[in-house]
Structure 1
Amino acid sequence: MKFGYARVSTDAQSLDRQLDALSKYGVDEILQEKMTGTKQSRPELDRLIDKMREGDTVVIESLSRLGRSTKDLLSLVELFNERGVTLVSLKENIDISTPTGKLLVTVLSALCQFERDLTVQRTNEGLTAARARGRKGGRPPIDKKTIEKALKLHDAKAMSVSEICEVCNISQGTLYKAINERKEKEIENGEKQTRFKHIDPSSSVPD
């Protein structure tokens, strides 16, 4: 299945150019929305993520139509890779399943790490200055029960990702991270159980 995704920042802008490009590429379905990329809620993108399956292709007119920032774009690219979904950007002529596309992911990852390092440095400098003035700072940790609640809502499939994040007061990145961490634990536990089942009782050493 080939999905097209189109977005503009305001109601005054037209989606026609993007829709024409996606139709010319030959997508099977186009999901479109008009809202600023800085807003956390993007219901059509959430719907696209829910619909896509392994082997599908997501086509966009340009990378700027998908991500709000380098970090957000990389998070989505990694999600597509984990789901076995190919991302194609027409303007940049990029397919993340090709060597050039994989290089892009590497560059995005490096940029994100650079941005994170700068953020950490600035945060630490700010905290140091605040402590010198007798103040404490830092973001409060997310409660484990909140993450569990968000995962249960996601499993129920009754709400979109943006709605879950709004209800639980967490970011989409936090939710996707929790989903991926849970999946990794399930895979790890499954491997352990498989190894346990294959242990031959007769091979155990008697007391």
Structure 2
Amino acid sequence: MSKTILYARVSTADQTLDHQKAQAEASGFVIDEVVADHGVSGVSTTLRERLEGKRLYDKLRHGDTLVVRWVDRLGRNYQDVTDTIRHFMRQGVVIKTVVNGMTFDGATQDPMREAVRDALIAFMAATAQAQAEATKEAQRAGIKAAKHAGGKYRGKKPSFSRNTFQVVKEQLDIGQGASAIAKLTGISRQAVLRIRKDPSLADEALKRWGE
């Protein structure tokens, strides 16, 4: 029996798993299973290198549908994204995006349709990589400008306060799970995971922002 799997890559506090799933369901997708990677880069890690992403290669079968918010969730490297989509199409998997409602499959035998499909895949993968490179360049420019002005680059402002940080640490100390803590404090699960992974780094970020 065919199934529909949502793959979510959550790399920032603005891209929560719940948000990506809700968007997919609001677009009419009936999701059978969710596979998600948290806090991973789409530039430096391929889908096969991610803890959860690599499971898709074993899970997906002919007739299944892979849903992603957009192709940048698969990755932000042109070669990796195009290789990934073509691999799944050869396996008989249909790839669908929530944004723009795109569908990619290998069923067509018409050469013109294939050409248009492949050109669109290439364009979207190239756009994902270009956006990632533009973001990195903007970050570098911001750091350079701050240093030139005699200031200190503070990085992205934390999504939590000092008080929230303390609550998260206390809850982690008594063994509470990340999802429960996120619900209690109102911050994202990914933010909780970042604090758990390196509380000193979170502490330093708060200090840079005067917390």
> TM-score range, shorter-chain basis?
0.3 to 0.5
The two structures have a TM-score, normalised by structure 2, of: 0.46
